[in-house]
């Protein structure tokens, strides 16, 4: 089921399926969010939990047991409960259940909350450990945005501009798109700009660390733009459908990387995982802002 909230500047719609955004519209009705397509990618803005990316053999180890887990975890396919809503606020929740425990043996509670402020939507992840053992997890976002945002323009008319100069490092994927532990410098034009072209994604996602914590999708030929702020996420991914002319780009804040090649990982020994002690709560807020 879909739910819509709005103010005078922005309207969003979100689904109880994973708490996923399905529309981000400005006052004139322009939808900034990728609409989904079987040809390119049916997703729109899934949330990633309790792991991000792929695992070798699509499984991991915990306590000597093996657990199956598909790419980006199970949240994106789970039906969440609408906890509360107001004119400018939505909150969805998911509790551990028989299905999740077969993939992730922890008694968790998870909330995805949306709050509108002017032309921004603030997204909060809240994770609770209801159990009696420490709980490792990763969490992230995967929103796709339409490119171009103006029909007369092309994909190549747009670029990604970081808020500060930096020389981020790119994680080098293996041929099966897992990690090998190697990072190489990924220079940006003027230390801030990545010009868009479809061939950027011929080897799948661009995953960066040590980048600025805010990036804007924009064009010098269009006033419309989208900024994503992710102050407390270690990694940032950019992606569209591999080797295609897909008319969107995903901007993905992640707390951790995907799995390593030839390694069935012990999830509690992954140094990037957030670890919650029993009864602890984790919160992380990030923001999508649209410009008309």
Q: What is the pLDDT of residues 15-48, one digit of tens each?
A: 999 999 999 999 999 999 999 999 999 999 999 9
Residue with tokens 């140094």: 271
- Beta carbons within 10 angstroms of residue 204's beta carbon: 17
Q: Is the CB of residue 130 less than 8 Å from the CB of residue 109?
A: yes
Average pLDDT over residues 228-247: 98
Residue with tokens 């509360």: 84
pLDDT of amino acid 176: 87
User: How far is 89 from 122, CA to CA, in rounded Å?
Assistant: 10
Q: Is residue 271 over pLDDT 90?
A: no
**pTM of the shown model:** 0.97
DSSP code, position 52: -
pLDDT of amino acid 290: 98
What confidence category does residue 123 fall into, taking pLDDT thresholds of 50, 70 and 90? very high
Structural domain count of the chain: 1
- Beta carbons within 10 angstroms of residue 87's beta carbon: 8
Q: What is the pLDDT of residues 140-187, one digit of tens each?
A: 999 999 999 999 999 999 999 999 999 999 999 898 889 999 999 999
CATH classification of the domain holding 250: 2.70.98.10
Note down the domain range covering 65: 2-291
226, two tokens: 């989208």
pLDDT of amino acid 173: 86
């Amino acid at each position: 089921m879909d739910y819509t909230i709005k103010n005078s500047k922005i309207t969003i719609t979100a689904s109880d399926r994973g708490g996923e955004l399905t529309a981000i519209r400005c006052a004139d009705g322009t939808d900034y969010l990728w609409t989904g397509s079987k040809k390119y990618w049916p997703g729109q803005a899934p949330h990633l939990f309790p792991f991000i990316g792929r695992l070798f053999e699509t499984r991991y180890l915990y306590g000597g047991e093996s657990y199956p887990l598909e790419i980006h975890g199970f949240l994106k396919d789970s039906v969440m409960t609408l906890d509360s809503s107001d004119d400018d606020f939505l909150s969805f929740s998911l509790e551990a259940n028989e299905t999740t425990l077969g993939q992730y043996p922890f008694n968790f509670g998870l909330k995805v909350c949306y709050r509108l402020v002017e032309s921004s939507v603030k997204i909060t992840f809240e994770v609770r450990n209801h159990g009696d053992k420490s709980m490792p997890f990763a969490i992230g976002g995967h929103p796709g945005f339409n490119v171009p945002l103006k029909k007369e323009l092309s994909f190549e008319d747009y670029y990604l501009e970081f808020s500060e100069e930096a020389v981020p490092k790119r994680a080098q994927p293996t041929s099966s798109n897992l990690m090998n532990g190697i990072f190489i410098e990924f220079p940006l034009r003027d230390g801030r700009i990545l010009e868009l072209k479809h061939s950027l994604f011929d080897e799948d996602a661009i995953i960066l660390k040590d980048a600025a914590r805010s990036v804007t999708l924009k064009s010098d030929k269009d006033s419309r733009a989208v900024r994503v702020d992710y102050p407390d996420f270690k990694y940032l991914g950019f992606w569209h459908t591999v080797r295609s002319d897909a008319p969107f780009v995903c901007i993905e804040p992640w707390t951790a990387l995907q799995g390593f090649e030839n390694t069935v990982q012990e999830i509690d020994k992954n140094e990037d995982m957030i670890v919650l002690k029993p009864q602890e709560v984790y919160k992380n807020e990030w923001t999508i802002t649209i410009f008309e």
